Amino acid sequence: MVKKIFGQCYIWLILILMYLPVLVLIAFSFTEATNVGEWTGFSFNLFPRLFQSAEIMTALANTVIIAISSSLVATILGSLGAVGAYYSKKRMRNAIDLATQIPVVNAEIVVAFSLTVMFVFIGNIINTYMFSFWTLLIGHVCLSIPFVYTSVKPKLQQMDPSLYEAALDLGASPSQALGKVVVPEIMPGVLSGFLLSITLSLDDFIVTAFTRGSGLLSGDKKIETLSTLVQAKIKKGPIPPEMRALTTVLFVIVILAVIGVTIYRNQQAKKIRVRRAF
């Protein structure tokens, strides 16, 4: 009993400490003061200001476009890689597995720096400025591709290897067997790989800062994502008031997502329980 109370207190204490900065920011998103810690009266004004800020909205849109496009590329390449590796000879498979571990443990700064140095190197050779949306996309794919591979791989290992043969046996051509049987089997892994890629891309600063060029909604200027924009702002001073409102919005979205996932999981669990009852 003592252990239970102590344990729960501990969990909630840490949880509060972890959320404290964000919660404070959220609290101060309802006042227009420049600095956190000064309360100048309750106000919703920061929210319209947030949505009117072209700078922030452009950055948000850029961030979302990059996250989705890079995750799609990473998911396709990573899933194909996992499937191909699974059907390769053992030595090849082990080599690919090991290679996949390198970017997982590699420091983001090294990934960013080495890619950038390479782009500069190639740019010098062909006499062009390489940096654009495409270099940024490659950078983000580098970040997430190994995680797609590692989430698809266990699904393949859990799959009954004779499923593919069964499909062939029933008249499916090798590509039909792959599409109708193997792909649905690994789909959960592919999806979680995609979500993971989105998360990594949304959160990234270093690779973005290094590999970005001009393009997307930023036009001729360097592509600004949420991370780079916030970084540029807070280097000079406190978090701009509109961004406090942004934090509130993001927080609400995250909480809704957590609630959604929980409800979905509970329903899945219930479904399984009902089935077992048969």
Partner 1 sequence: MADKNYIISLQGVTKSFGNNTVVDDFNLDITKGEFVTFLGPSGCGKTTTLRMIAGFETPTSGQILLNGEDITRIPPHKRPINTVFQRYALFPHLDVYDNVAFGLKLKKIPYEVTNKKGETVTKYRHYTREEIDEKVMRALKIIDLEDLENRDISTLSGGQQQRVAIARAIVNEPEILLLDEPLGALDLKMRKEMQLELKDMHKKIGITFIYVTHDQEEALTMSDTIVVMKDGVIQQVGNPIDIYNEPVNAFVANFIGESNIYNATMVGKLKVKFLNHVFDCVDDFPLNEKVDVVVRPEDVEMTVIKGKSDDSRLKGKIVTKIFKGIHYEYVLIMGKSEIVTQSTKDYELDSEVYIDVEPANIQIMKRSSTENVYPEAWIDKNNKLIIADGEFDVDITQLLKGSHVDDDLYLIGADGKKYDLDDADVIASIDFTDVQIVDGHDKGNVNGTVVETIYKGDHYAVLVRTAEEEDYILATDDTWNEGDLVSVIVEPSKIRLTLKGDLNKYEVQ
Partner 2 sequence: MKSNKVKRFFTLQRKYLCIPYIVFFILFIFAPILIIVFYAITNEVYDAATNTTHIVLSGQPFINFFTDPSKINVLFVSLFIATITTLICLLIGFPLAFFLADKQVNKNAVLVTLFVAPMWINFVLRTGATRDLLTWFGINGGTHPYLATIIGMVQNYLPFVILPLYTTMTKLDKSQIEAARDLGANPTQVFFKNIIPQAVPGIVSACLMTFMPTMSSYVISDVLSEGKITLFGNYIELEFTNKAWNDGSFMALIMLLFIAVAMFISQKFGKDDEKEAGTSW
Of 58-97, binders to partner 2 (CB under 8 A) are 77-78, 80-85, 87-89, 92, 96
* Complex with partner 2: residue 17 or 278, whichever CB lies closer: 17
Q: Are 116 and 210 in contact (CB under 8 A)?
A: yes
| Residue 77 interacting with partner 1 (CB under 8 A) | no
At position 44, the amino acid (one-letter code) is F
Q: Smaller CB distance to partner 1: residue 236 or 275? A: 275
Residue with tokens 């509109």: 242
Task: Return the residue of 65, 68, 76, 168 that touches partner 1, per CB under 8 A.
Answer: 168
Name the one range near partner 2 by CB under 8 A: 44-52, 126-134, 154-162, 215-223. 154-162
Q: How far is CA 267 from CA 82, 132, 187, 191, in A?
A: 30, 44, 19, 19
Per partner kind, with CB cut-offs from 5 to 8 A, the member of partner 2, partner 1, none near residue 191 is none
176 counts as binding partner 1 under rule CB under 8 A: yes
Shortest CB 168 distance to partner 2, Å: 8
Verify binding: residue 47, partner 2, rule CB under 8 A.
no
Q: What is the 3-state secondary structure (H, E, C) of 57-126?
A: HHHHHHHHHHHHHHHHHHHHHHHHHHHHHHCCCHHHHHHHHHHHHHHHHCCHHHHHHHHHHHHHHHHHHH
Query: Does the footprint of partner 1 cover residue 184 (CB under 8 A)?
Result: yes
According to CB under 8 A, which residues from 232 to 251 bind partner 2? 233-235, 238-239, 243, 246-247, 250-251
Piece of 64-72, 125-133, 187-195, 216-224 that binds partner 2 (CB under 8 A): 187-195
**Segment near partner 2 (CB under 8 A), from 18-26, 44-52, 214-222, 270-278?**
18-26
Applying CB under 8 A, which of residues 178, 185, 214, 222 lies at the interface with partner 2?
Answer: 178
3 touching partner 1, by CB under 8 A: no
**Which positions from 229 to 248 touch partner 1 by CB under 8 A, shown as an x/- string?**
--------------------
Does 172 help bind partner 1 (rule: CB under 8 A)?
yes
Total residues at interface with partner 1 (CB under 8 A): 22
If binding is defined by CB under 8 A, does position 115 make contact with partner 2?
yes
Structure token pair of residue 156: 């393949």
In this structure, the number of other CB atoms found within 10 A of the CB of residue 121 comes to 10
Q: Which of 180, 221, 265, 270 binds partner 1 (CB under 8 A)?
A: 180
Footprint on residues 145-164 left by partner 1 (CB under 8 A): 160, 162-163
| Interaction site with partner 1 (CB under 8 A) | 160, 162-163, 165-174, 176-177, 180-181, 184-185, 187, 275, 278
